[in-house]
Structure 1
Amino acid sequence: MSYVIGIDLGTSAVKALLLDRSGAIIAEASRDYPLFHEHSGWSEQRPNDWVDGTLGAVQDVVQKAGVPADSIEGISFSGQMHGLVLLDEAGNPVRNAILWNDTRTTAECREIEQTLGSDLLSITRNPALEGFTLPKILWVRKHEPEVFTAAKLFVLPKDYVRYKLTGELHMDYSDAAGTLLLDVANKAWSGAVLQAFGLPASFCPPLIESHGLAGTILPEAAAGAGLSTATKVFAGGADNACGAIGSGILKDGLTMCSIGTSGVILSYENGSGNDFRGKVHFFNHGKQDAFYAMGVTLAAGYSLTWFKNTFAKGESFNELLSGIDQVRPGSNGLLFTPYIVGERTPHPDAVIRGSFIGIDGSHERIHFARSVMEGITFSLNESVQLFREAGKTVDTIVSIGGGAQNPVWLQMQADIFNADVVALENEQGPGLGAAMLAAYGCGWFDSLDACADQFVKRAATYKPVPSAVEAYAGLFRIYQDVYGQTKSLNDALKSYRN
Structure 2
Amino acid sequence: MSYVIGIDLGTGSVKGLVVNKKGTVVLEASEPYPLFHIKKGYSEQDPADWLHATETILKKLIAKMPELKEQLQGISFSGQMHSLVLLDEKQQPLRNAILWNDVRTTKQCEEITQKLGKRLVEKTKNLALEGFTLPKILWIKEHEPEIWAKAKSFLLPKDYLAFWLTGNQQMECSDAAGTLLLNVMDKQWDMEIAETFGIDRTLLPSLVSSLENIGTVNPVLAKELGLKTDVCVFAGGADNACAALGAGIVEENRGMCSIGTSGVFLSYEGEQEKDYQGKLHFFNHVIPNTYYSMGVTLAAGQSLTWFRETFAKEQTFEALVASSKNSTIGANGLLFTPYIMGERTPHVDSKIRGSFIGMDASHVISDFTRAVLEGITFSLKDSQVMMQTIAGKQFQEIVSVGGGAKSELWLQIQADIFNAKIVTLKTEQGPGLGAAMIAAVGVGWFATVKECAKQFVVYDKEYFPNEEAVASYQAVYELYREIYNQTKTLCHRLNEALN
Q: TM-score range by the shorter chain?
A: over 0.9
The gaps in structure 1 that reach 5 residues or longer are none
In structure 2, what is the equivalent of residue 188 of structure 1?
188
Q: Deviations over 1:240-262 (max 9, x none)?
A: 10011101111212111111111
* 3-state SS of paired residue (1:19): strand
Contact in 2 for aligned 1:55/1:224 (Cα 8 Å): no
Contact in 2 for aligned 1:217/1:228 (Cα 8 Å): no
In structure 2, what is the equivalent of residue 112 of structure 1?
112
For residue 60 of structure 1, report the CA deviation from its aligned partner: 2.1
The whole-number CA distance in structure 1 between the counterparts of 2:401 and 2:227 is 30
Contact in 2 for aligned 1:2/1:73 (Cα 8 Å): yes
For residue 76 of structure 1, report the CA deviation from its aligned partner: 0.7
Contact in 2 for aligned 1:270/1:291 (Cα 8 Å): yes
The whole-number CA distance in structure 1 between the counterparts of 2:39 and 2:270 is 42
Please give the residue correspondences for 1:387-406 in structure 2 after superposition, counting only pairs within 5 Å.
Answer: 387-390=387-390, 391-406=392-407
For residue 225 of structure 1, report the CA deviation from its aligned partner: 5.0
In structure 2, what is the equivalent of residue 419 of structure 1?
420
Aligned: 1:260 with 2:263: no
For residue 222 of structure 1, report the CA deviation from its aligned partner: 3.1
For residue 365 of structure 1, report the CA deviation from its aligned partner: 1.7
In structure 2, what is the equivalent of residue 52 of structure 1?
52
* 3-state SS of paired residue (1:49): helix
The whole-number CA distance in structure 1 between the counterparts of 2:150 and 2:497 is 39
The whole-number CA distance in structure 1 between the counterparts of 2:10 and 2:370 is 28
Percent identity reads 54
Aligned: 1:231 with 2:231: yes
Please give the residue correspondences for 1:151-166 in structure 2 after superposition, counting only pairs within 5 Å.
Answer: 151-166=151-166
Output the TM-score relative to the length of structure 2.
Answer: 0.97
In structure 2, what is the equivalent of residue 290 of structure 1?
290
For residue 310 of structure 1, report the CA deviation from its aligned partner: 2.2
Contact in 2 for aligned 1:70/1:231 (Cα 8 Å): no
Mean CA deviation greater in 65-74 or 259-268: 65-74
Contact in 2 for aligned 1:76/1:233 (Cα 8 Å): yes
Contact in 2 for aligned 1:56/1:224 (Cα 8 Å): no
- Partner amino acid for 1:389? T
Mean CA deviation greater in 5-14 or 305-314: 305-314
For residue 321 of structure 1, report the CA deviation from its aligned partner: 2.1
For residue 366 of structure 1, report the CA deviation from its aligned partner: 2.0
In structure 2, what is the equivalent of residue 240 of structure 1?
240
Contact in 2 for aligned 1:84/1:97 (Cα 8 Å): yes
In structure 1, what is the equivalent of residue 466 of structure 2?
465
Seen in structure 2, the aligned counterparts of structure 1 residues 301 and 226 have a Cα distance that, compared at 3 Å, is farther
Contact in 2 for aligned 1:329/1:472 (Cα 8 Å): yes
Aligned: 1:428 with 2:464: no
Aligned: 1:445 with 2:446: yes
For residue 229 of structure 1, report the CA deviation from its aligned partner: 6.1
For residue 264 of structure 1, report the CA deviation from its aligned partner: 0.8
The whole-number CA distance in structure 2 between the counterparts of 1:352 and 1:142 is 28
In structure 1, what is the equivalent of residue 201 of structure 2?
201
Seen in structure 2, the aligned counterparts of structure 1 residues 406 and 202 have a Cα distance that, compared at 3 Å, is same
Aligned: 1:147 with 2:150: no
For residue 223 of structure 1, report the CA deviation from its aligned partner: 5.0
For residue 420 of structure 1, report the CA deviation from its aligned partner: 0.8
For residue 347 of structure 1, report the CA deviation from its aligned partner: 0.6
- Partner amino acid for 1:479? Y
In structure 2, what is the equivalent of residue 324 of structure 1?
324
- Partner amino acid for 2:167? G
In structure 1, what is the equivalent of residue 177 of structure 2?
177
For residue 272 of structure 1, report the CA deviation from its aligned partner: 3.7
The whole-number CA distance in structure 2 between the counterparts of 1:366 and 1:47 is 44
The whole-number CA distance in structure 2 between the counterparts of 1:228 and 1:187 is 37
- Partner amino acid for 2:373? M
Q: Alignment RMSD, CA only?
A: 1.5
For residue 377 of structure 1, report the CA deviation from its aligned partner: 0.5
Mean CA deviation greater in 365-374 or 309-318: 309-318
Q: Deviations over 1:214-236 (max 9, x none)?
A: 11112343355564561111111
For residue 63 of structure 1, report the CA deviation from its aligned partner: 2.7
In structure 1, what is the equivalent of residue 4 of structure 2?
4
* 3-state SS of paired residue (1:321): helix
Contact in 2 for aligned 1:80/1:157 (Cα 8 Å): yes
